[in-house]
Amino acid sequence: AVIAEYFSSKEEILVAQQERLWKGQFSKMNKILKKAKTPADHKEAFEVFFDNLVFSIKKNDHVQFEVFSFVPACLEYRAKVKVRLKKLFIKLIRKGWPGKTQEVLDRQSDLVLLTFYGFVDHVVHISVSERKKILKDYKNMLNLHLQDRLFF
């Protein structure tokens, strides 16, 4: 029973770290979205989301991100964040690349979400200079993907 309490408190600390990270990211996005009026504003907000996240990652954060991927309480929190991220991505895609059907929005936001977690897992393990390069390539890839109105 004592051991379970010990691990529970460690999990709570890790979840709190995750919450701080995401609270900051979503707070920044909310401020940007309040000002966004045009499709170009929403496209820019989409890119800024990735910029803010990548630039907020510190040199040794890879250890923390690895732990987030294995601790049960962190995985539960991650599932909640995924739901919120999907809603955000749908909103940004709908307003930044207008004219898509709901089916296309769902598919494209699912693919953005799927690639996003692989992207984050990759960038936390590389140098800051390499992060900037892969971030640029990643945003270009997403923009090309989202320009397709009908999705193939």
Please write the tens of the pLDDT for every residue from 87-98: 999 999 999 999
63 compared with 117, residue with greater pLDDT: 117
Flag whether the pTM goes above 0.85: yes
Report residue 12 as tokens: 């709570």
| Average of per-residue pLDDT values in the chain | 88
* CA distances for 34 relative to 28, 30, 86, 136, 145, angstroms: 10, 6, 18, 25, 25
Q: Is 132 left (phi over 0), alpha (psi -120 to 50) or beta?
A: alpha
